[in-house]
Amino acid sequence: MAEPEEITFRSHPLEEYVQMIERFHGHLAPGVLLGGFMVELAYQQLPTEGLFDAISETPTCLPDAIQLLTPCSAGNGWLQVVDSGRFALTIFEKTTGAGVRVHLDADRLTPGSQLSNWFLKLVPKAEQDKAQLIEEIVQAGSRILSFRKVHVDLAGRRQKKGVKTQICPVCRESYPRDHGPRCRHCSGERMYYRDAS
Amino acid sequence: MAEPEEITFRSHPLEEYVQMIERFHGHLAPGVLLGGFMVELAYQQLPTEGLFDAISETPTCLPDAIQLLTPCSAGNGWLQVVDSGRFALTIFEKTTGAGVRVHLDADRLTPGSQLSNWFLKLVPKAEQDKAQLIEEIVQAGSRILSFRKVHVDLAGRRQKKGVKTQICPVCRESYPRDHGPRCRHCSGERMYYRDAS
């Protein structure tokens, strides 16, 4: 099998990107490796100049590829997850919404391959050959990806700036005033814990 | 003013953590710096052994402190945002739900300080003294934080494993079968873009 040459992810060579994944994500996840090809393909289609935001259409794996290879992070607001459930990401110019959406094209997967079995969840994880799967991803690269130019709806995305805060009368913590008279924890809307006894 | 000594964030010295923030978050955000003190305080209260997940109660800044200082990332599923709107985070043992919640205690802020004005959004960003604000955060450290032991509701959090996928009849992309007969984009539920003309 031919050695894939000059594979880079935003100028990081493959080996370096693999190490970045292991360090940040905890292990070499196939989805984050694939995500690297997706981010790279998106940037190849974007203007070289511009300020770009990113959307991952799944909370799994792709957010980490985006965070490793772009300036967008979960906490700086430039990365957002819009969970359509699809394995796709969009990178777009933040003031115009003009961007590129990349997805994995299931029609291009070889039936019976590790990659097909993994992506379509046809085989339980314990029965997958991880090394072979990684090799197939590297060999396939962007050939299993499709992209299209899109316009992102900015009206629905702009972050609210300057929202006032106030102290919740129940928990005495600060929260955005537009959430209502109590914070979302004390109103029961986002109550994920109880005090330990 | 006394030099703060031996401030570390999960064993990273202050200067190193500042660089990590600038690299990952794009700039030295006060909220990510504060988040470092919060993560450190949480770990000081947790058992030294264990596998921990994290929850940020805000999408702003704190997710990046968690991602920089813990094994939890947005894409590996160990970090989740439960947007209560409060400046708080919880780190908890993933199998038992036993953990520690840390929040910034507004009652301990000095009225009129840069820190108080910033946190309570009393002064527009353009009028804030960023260098002084950072200095006040470093000087305050964990003294403005409170923590409590909590139990996280795991029943509401466990990720679904083994959900089958299927191809959406409209867009021909793979998506989780339990989302319904069409993917969430094609059903209109998560439609954030249109094709560029």
Query: For chain A, what is the domain count?
Result: 2
Q: What is the 3-state secondary structure (H, E, C) of chain A?
A: CCCCCCCEECCEEHHHHHHHHHHHHCCCCHHHHHHHHHHHHHHHHCCCCCCEEEEECCCCCHHHHHHHHCCCCCCCCCEEECCCCCCEEEEEECCCCEEEEEEECHHHCCCCCHHHHHHCCCCCHHHCCHHHHHHHHHHHHHHHEEEEEEEECCCCCCCCCCCCEEECCCCCCEEEHHHCCCCCCCCCCCCCEEECC
Q: Quote the tokens at residue A186.
A: 């004390």
Q: Which residues from chain A sit within 8 angstroms of residue B39, using beta carbons?
A: none
Residue A133: CB atoms within 10 A of its CB come to 18
Query: Which of B39, B93, B145, B193 to substitute to test the interface with A, most A CBs within 10 Å?
Result: B193
| Matching residue, tokens 């992810």 | A9
The crossing angle, in degrees rounded to 10, of helices A14-25 and A62-69 is 120
**Which residues lie below 8 Å from residue A102, measured CB to CB, with a gap of 6+?**
A38, A39, A41, A42, A88, A89, A90, A145, A146, A147
Q: What percent of chain A has pLDDT over 90?
A: 87
CA separation for the pair B28, A134 (Å, rounded): 36
For residues B16 and B34, state if they share a domain. yes
Q: Taking a C-beta distance cutoff of 8 angstroms, is the pair B9, B66 a contact?
A: no
Residue A3 in any domain: the answer is no
Strand, coil or helix: B45 = helix
pLDDT at B3: 56
Closest residue to B63, CB basis, from A75, A150, A172:
A75
ipTM attached to this prediction: 0.93
- Residues of B within 8 A of A163 (CB-CB) are 121
Q: Is A157 a domain residue? A: no
Does a structural domain hold residue A110?
A: yes
Structure tokens at A15: 């080996």
Together in a domain, A121 and A57: yes
Strands in chain B per DSSP E: 8-9, 12-13, 52-56, 79-81, 88-93, 98-104, 145-152, 165-167, 174-176, 193-195
Q: Are residues B140 and B188 in the same domain?
A: no
Domain shared by A42 and A130, yes or no: yes
Any B CB within 8 A of A25 CB: yes
Residues B107 and B47 in one domain: yes
Q: Are residues A124 and A182 in the same domain?
A: no
Q: At which residue do the structure tokens 């090394």 appear?
A: A131
Domain CATH code at residue A23? 3.30.1330.130
In a shared domain, residues A193 and A128: no
Indicate if B134 and B194 belong to the same structural domain.
no
Is residue A121 domain-resident?
A: yes
How far is CA B66 from each of CA A41, A194, B45, B60, rounded to the nearest angstrom?
29, 21, 16, 11
In a domain, A147, yes or no: yes
Out of A84, A90, A195, the one facing B183 most closely (by C-beta) is A84
Per-residue pLDDT of B82-112, as tens digits, reads: 999 999 999 999 999 999 999 999 999 999 9
Burial of A83 (0-12, 13-18, 19+ CB in 10 A): middle
Residue of A nearest to B185 (CA): A84
Asked, for residue A2, whether it belongs to a domain, the answer is no
DSSP E strands, B68-171:
79-81, 88-93, 98-104, 145-152, 165-167
B107 and B65 in one domain?
A: yes
Tell me if A1 is assigned to some domain: no
Note whether residue B136 is domain-resident: yes
- DSSP reduced 3-state for B100: strand
Domain encompassing residue A97:
8-151
pTM for this predicted structure? 0.93
Q: What is the pLDDT along chain A (197 residues), one digit of tens a residue?
A: 445 568 999 999 999 999 999 999 999 999 999 999 999 999 999 999 999 999 999 999 999 999 999 999 999 999 999 999 999 999 999 999 999 999 999 999 999 999 999 999 999 989 999 999 999 999 999 999 999 999 999 887 666 667 899 999 999 999 999 999 999 999 999 889 998 87
A187 touches chain B (CB under 8 A): no
Percent of chain A with pLDDT over 70: 94
| Shared domain check, B26 and B106 | yes
